[in-house]
Amino acid sequence: ARAAGGALEAALAAGAGRYCWAPERMPRLAIGHSLGAKLQVLLRCGKEETTPSMRNTLGVGLIAFNNFGVSDSVRLLRETLRAFQGNAVGGADGFWESVLEPALGRAARASGLEFSPGPEELLELVRKKYRGTGHTRAFRFDADALDCSDELLDALADRGAPSADASFLDGSHLSPVLVGLQDVTQAAGQRGASVGDGVAGRVANRVGERFAGATIGDEAELQRLVDALVAWVDEVKVA
């Protein structure tokens, strides 16, 4: 979170120097998806002097806020596989639930790896230190098994946040993601060529031929999210 905040401050400073921006007068909105939303929350629980550009934020948009630990976040892999397979996992879904997901969860716990702060620690930070200015909105999807917005909104209420609410949308945790496989394979081929690896280029070409025109994600779901974000921006502009 500190690295992300520092990168933002550096980008604003660079823009001010190159384009004569006046960052102190620029209206700002903070938006993040999944663990990116968690980073946005953490930035608002830290010290103001480390991220001065956060002081006058008009609003904070948290898309599919994810506050799970490492062992529970293996579910994100399942969501990703569903996106690749067009939500048609069939019998494999039962095998994932009964065998693979528990096994991956145990492996993650045994590794000793964990996000820091952990889920409960983050919520406690929100209750004590969250300083989000303006309007905080959680954007939630009806089929999202990773969303933790309820717990966050409860913590914000305990904090006495003046304006925090939720928008409900059709979709899943990966609804904000829309990727054309042709674009991915072209990028992989170019990367392979740049490092002199003909194998990467050949694999990219084979994938491109097999899945030409295919996409990962749902354009209609993404468009509904964009519409909801635009409506929210209009709200905070007139608030």
Distance of CA 227 to the CA centre of its chain: 18
Provide the pLDDT confidence category of residue 116 given band limits of 50, 70 and 90.
confident
Instruction: Compute the average pLDDT of residues 192-206.
Output: 54
Note the pLDDT of residue 213.
Answer: 55
Question: What span, in angstroms and rounded, lies between the C-alpha atoms of 70 and 113?
Answer: 7
pLDDT higher than 80, residue 144:
yes
Nearest to 24 by CA among 34, 35, 15, 33: 15
Q: What pTM was computed for the model?
A: 0.74
Percent of the chain with pLDDT over 70: 60
Q: DSSP letter at 196? A: T
Note the pLDDT of residue 88.
Answer: 44
Nearest to 158 by CA among 135, 125, 183: 125
Note the pLDDT of residue 114.
Answer: 52
> For residues 121 and 99, which has the higher predicted lDDT (pLDDT)?
121
Note the pLDDT of residue 3.
Answer: 85
Nearest to 236 by CA among 137, 107, 89: 137
Question: What span, in angstroms and rounded, lies between the C-alpha atoms of 59 and 40?
Answer: 11
Instruction: Compute the average pLDDT of residues 15-39.
Output: 89
Question: What span, in angstroms and rounded, lies between the C-alpha atoms of 187 and 201?
Answer: 9
Instruction: Compute the average pLDDT of residues 124-143.
Output: 90
Provide the pLDDT confidence category of residue 212 given band limits of 50, 70 and 90.
low
Residue type, 185: T
Provide the pLDDT confidence category of residue 41 given band limits of 50, 70 and 90.
very high
Note the pLDDT of residue 99.
Answer: 47
Note the pLDDT of residue 118.
Answer: 85
Helix (H, G, I), strand (E, B) or coil at 34: coil
Mean pLDDT of the chain: 77
pLDDT higher than 50, residue 220:
yes
Note the pLDDT of residue 111.
Answer: 47
How far, CA to CA in Å, does 157 sit from each of 31, 49, 119, 130, 175? 20, 25, 17, 11, 27
> For residue range 46-80, what is the model confidence (pLDDT) as tens digits?
876 566 667 678 899 999 999 987 656 566 666 66
* Lowest mean pLDDT, pick from 128-132, 184-188, 215-219: 184-188
> For residue range 71-108, what is the model confidence (pLDDT) as tens digits?
565 666 666 655 555 544 444 555 445 544 555 455 44
